[in-house]
A and B are shown apart, each in its own frame.
Chain A
Amino acid sequence: MFPTPIAKRSRSAQLSYQAFLPLALILWLLPLLAVALFSVKPGADFANGNYWGIPSSFDLFSNYGMVFFESNMPRYLMNSLLITIPTVIGAVALSSLAGFALGIYKFRGNLLIFFMFIAGNFVPFQILMVPVRDLTISMGLYDSVMGLVLFHVAFQTGFCTLFMRNFIRALPYPLIEAARVEGVAEWRIFWYVVLPLMKPALAALAVLVFTFIWNDYFWAVVLTQGPNAQPVTAGITEFNSQFRAAYHLMSAGSIVAALPPVAMFFLMQKHFIAGLTLGAVK
């Protein structure tokens, strides 16, 4: 193990490490802590120049109540969910199909198709922007949840297929051969043999895609406008212009917008990290 385990060091080194840890964490999260502090302050504090001091009163409920009951925030949160959940289902489903085809079968063009999915992943969004916006308009899906979902499913399929294919590759191949000898149809092999083994990959991808899509801003701006379809990342700018310079409300809004992926991360930490660090170890 590197660096030398702290347990093998002197007592004083251990103590200073333990003391330094929380300090470093506070320093690292300082910008966030500041926002959390902002979000429980009353508006008057900012007018009086008390930005960083102790809140003159604890206004958590009134600030967050404002966000939830007197703004478009709930609408935006709902849109985010309506965009994110179908995308997760669609991208994971499509990529399991593609991953199965590319991971199990040997055929001409296999690697070529696989590399198409990988390469598409790295492309800058801007080169897709004008044509995708056009396509969405011509399908009558501009400024709709569906328009965003379709694009996100297609784009995320690239990354997810990379993940799925490598995962399926690592499964024991004799299992599939055994099923074939038994005369099991190929789609049944997918459904009854491979899919149950893919549960960890499905979970990892689901949380990752959830976070990516929830946090997307660019496509939200390109493909939607206004509260009837915009997700919370885009909505927060409208929210902020509604409450210009009301830092207590803007920070409460930001925290609300950031919370769902954070909750997802803490609930599914193991899968999340397994997904993100795919390939970091050989």
Chain B
Amino acid sequence: MSVSPAVPTTHARQPNRGWYRRNEIALTPWLFLILPVAFFLTYVVVPIGQSFWISFHQWDGLGEATWVGMDNYNRLLGLGDQNIDRKFETSFWNNIRWLVLYLLAIPMGLFIALFLNQTVTGIRLYKSLFFFPFVISQVVVGLVFSWFYLPNVGLFEIITGFFGLEIRGGVLGNPDTATYGIIAAGLWPQTAYCMILYLTGLNAVDSEQVEAARLDGAKGWRMLWFVIIPQLKPATFIAFVVTIIGALRSFDLISIMTNGGPFGSTRVLSFYMFEESLSEFGFRMGYGAAIAVVLFFIMLGFIVYFLWSMWQDEKGAR
């Protein structure tokens, strides 16, 4: 008589299973991880450490690197008897401008999402078309906006000229306005991104709660503030994360629209770093790496906060 087939087959082979088979469940994750982790270590984790190392050297990228200790940082931040690097100062404050103003994308995105959160014919197409700017590369966004801002003939000047406003040298030619002009261009796709996050979030808002609040007489702003926005918290968190990262990564737009000018007034740290390391003025890799490290530390504050929030979620999920 044969016994039931499901279990015995595995049981019968148990004694002579190989080492691999016995440890299969412990080994498999590592076999699966080898390649992705190796790639990620080589191209992301190790280079971070190398950048720190390079930032203590003077190096043109070709010959021998000379150890200079904290010299790069002293020169950059004006420590010791050095004066602070003026270009660094401009870049740093521009980074702050980017950070603060870029966050406007979040309320603007929410506003558009609320505007579009209706069911009328063709609304789906409207939503996708409003999202459009995010899909286009920043290079093209930069080009489009630099034509929009063209002095004298650009659409922007025509519109502002209509109201009697004139910016000398055009938006991008004037050191006082150039950075704001670029940030406005960056806000365009970023707002679209926040909008799509909020549209998805609004879809998931608990309609029973909304109805209940409505019965209690809540509407308009109070409804939005006390009922809707708390439910949109996950969307807001992601919008915050992507906007902060986007603001600190701003490079493409600056490179395309002004290339750092006029008179270096639109530089940000990421652009200044690139300029120092790879520009025609010579390769100053050590100094560039030091700028990158400073940028990294600014980012690190946010990274730690993001990771901490995600960690809390993970613990909650367990």
Residues of A within 8 A of B (CB): 1-7, 14, 17-18, 21, 24-25, 28-32, 34-35, 38, 49, 51-52, 94-95, 97-98, 100-102, 104-105, 107, 110-111, 113, 115-120, 122-135, 150-151, 153-155, 157-158, 161, 182-183, 185-187, 190, 211, 214-215, 217-218, 221-222, 233, 236-237, 240, 247, 250-251, 254-255, 257-258, 261-262, 264-266, 269, 273, 276-277, 279-282
9 more CB-based (< 8 A) A-B contacts, given A124-B248, A127-B292:
A32-B132, A101-B28, A110-B29, A119-B303, A128-B43, A217-B255, A261-B136, A262-B132, A280-B238
The one of B28, B130, B269 in contact with A105, judged by C-beta atoms closer than 8 angstroms, is B28
User: Does B54 belong to the interface (CB within 8 Å)?
Assistant: yes
Cα(A4)–Cα(B220), bound, Å: 9
Cα(A277)–Cα(B155), bound, Å: 34
* A129-B277 contact given A118-B307, A254-B140, A281-B201, CB 8 Å threshold: yes
User: Does B35 belong to the interface (CB within 8 Å)?
Assistant: yes
B contact residues around A34 at 8 Å (CB): 144, 147-148, 155
B contact residues around A32 at 8 Å (CB): 132-133, 136, 144
Residues of B within 8 A of A (CB): 6, 9-10, 24-26, 28-30, 32-33, 35-37, 39-40, 42-48, 50-51, 54, 61, 114-115, 117-120, 123, 126, 128-133, 135-140, 143-145, 147-148, 150, 153-155, 158, 188, 193, 196-198, 200-205, 207, 210, 219, 223-224, 227-228, 234-235, 237-238, 241, 245, 248-249, 251-252, 255-256, 269-270, 273-274, 277-278, 285, 288-289, 291-293, 295-296, 299, 302-303, 306-307, 310-311, 314
Cα(A282)–Cα(B203), bound, Å: 12
Q: How far does the Cβ of A13 sit from chain B's closest Cβ, in whole Å?
A: 11
Cα(A90)–Cα(B3), bound, Å: 47
Q: Max chain B CB contacts within 10 Å: which of A100, A115, A132?
A: A132
B contact residues around A105 at 8 Å (CB): 25, 28-29
